[in-house]
C-alpha cells in the first residue's frame, strides 16, 4: 500500500455485510472466522486501514497486509482455504523410518549417540532438546530390563513356581 493513497474497501469487497456475517458464523475454524471478520471490519468501516483491522483480530501490520493481498488476489475462496501444514522436522518420513529401525537394535543407548548417528547418516545436526522432541514425536522411549538381584537362585525360583498351589 502506497502512502497517501486510501482504498475504498466498501467498493473493493464484493460480498455484502450480511454475507460476510453469515460466512463468519458458519465457519467452525477460528482462523478462517478471524479472516472473514477482518474483511467484514474493512467493509463496514469498523477499521479504516489494514493495520487497524489486523490489530482488532490480533494480527500485526504486515500480517494484515498479507491477508488483504490474499483476498485481493483470490477473493473469499482464497481466505476460506485452510493452508496450514504440519511440521515434519528436519528428517523426511523415510529417514525417520530408518532411524526407528536403527533404534530397534541395541547399538544406541543415549540420545547423544542417536544424534551422532543422524549427523553421520544424514548430515543433520540436532541439539539435545531437538533430539528429545524428535523422540517424543516419534514416541521413542527408553527401554530397559527390570532390575534383578545378582544373588538370585534360578533353580530355587523354578522349584518355588512348581510348588505353588493352583487356583
Confidence of residue 107 (pLDDT cuts 50, 70, 90): confident
Task: Please tell me whether residues 70 and 108 are part of one structural domain.
Answer: no
Q: Which residue has the cell 493452508?
A: 83
Q: For residues 101 and 12, what is the distance between their CA atoms, to the nearest angstrom?
A: 56
Contact call for residues 56 and 46 (beta carbons, < 8 A): yes
Model pLDDT, residue 1: 45
Listed range (48-52, 129-133, 155-159) with the worst mean pLDDT: 155-159
Do 70 and 107 have their domain in common?
no
Q: What's the pLDDT at 110? A: 86
Mean residue pLDDT across the chain: 86
| CB contact at 8 A, 90 and 115 | no
Query: Are both 32 and 75 inside the same structural domain?
Result: yes
pLDDT exceeds cutoff 50 at 40: yes
Domain coverage including residue 130: 93-138
Cell 460466512 belongs to 23
What pTM value is reported for the model? 0.51
Residue with cell 530355587: 156
**Same-domain pairing of 104 and 48:** no
The position carrying cell 544373588 is 151
Amino acid at each position: 500500500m502506497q502512502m497517501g493513497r486510501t482504498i475504498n474497501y466498501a467498493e473493493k469487497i464484493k460480498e455484502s455485510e450480511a454475507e460476510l456475517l453469515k460466512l463468519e458464523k458458519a465457519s467452525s475454524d477460528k482462523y478462517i472466522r478471524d479472516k472473514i471478520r477482518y474483511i467484514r471490519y474493512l467493509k463496514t468501516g469498523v477499521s479504516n486501514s489494514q493495520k487497524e483491522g489486523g490489530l482488532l483480530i490480533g494480527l500485526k501490520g504486515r500480517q494484515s497486509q498479507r491477508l488483504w493481498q490474499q483476498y485481493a488476489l483470490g477473493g473469499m475462496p482464497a481466505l476460506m482455504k485452510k493452508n496450514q501444514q504440519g511440521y515434519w522436522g528436519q528428517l523426511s518420513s523415510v529417514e525417520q523410518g530408518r532411524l526407528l529401525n536403527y533404534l530397534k537394535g541395541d547399538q544406541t543407548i543415549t540420545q547423544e549417540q542417536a544424534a551422532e548417528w543422524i549427523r553421520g547418516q544424514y548430515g543433520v545436526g540436532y541439539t539435545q532438546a531437538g533430539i528429545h522432541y524428535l523422540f517424543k514425536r516419534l514416541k521413542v522411549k527408553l527401554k530397559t530390563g527390570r532390575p534383578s538381584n545378582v544373588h538370585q537362585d534360578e533353580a530355587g525360583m523354578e522349584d518355588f513356581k512348581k510348588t505353588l498351589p493352583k487356583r
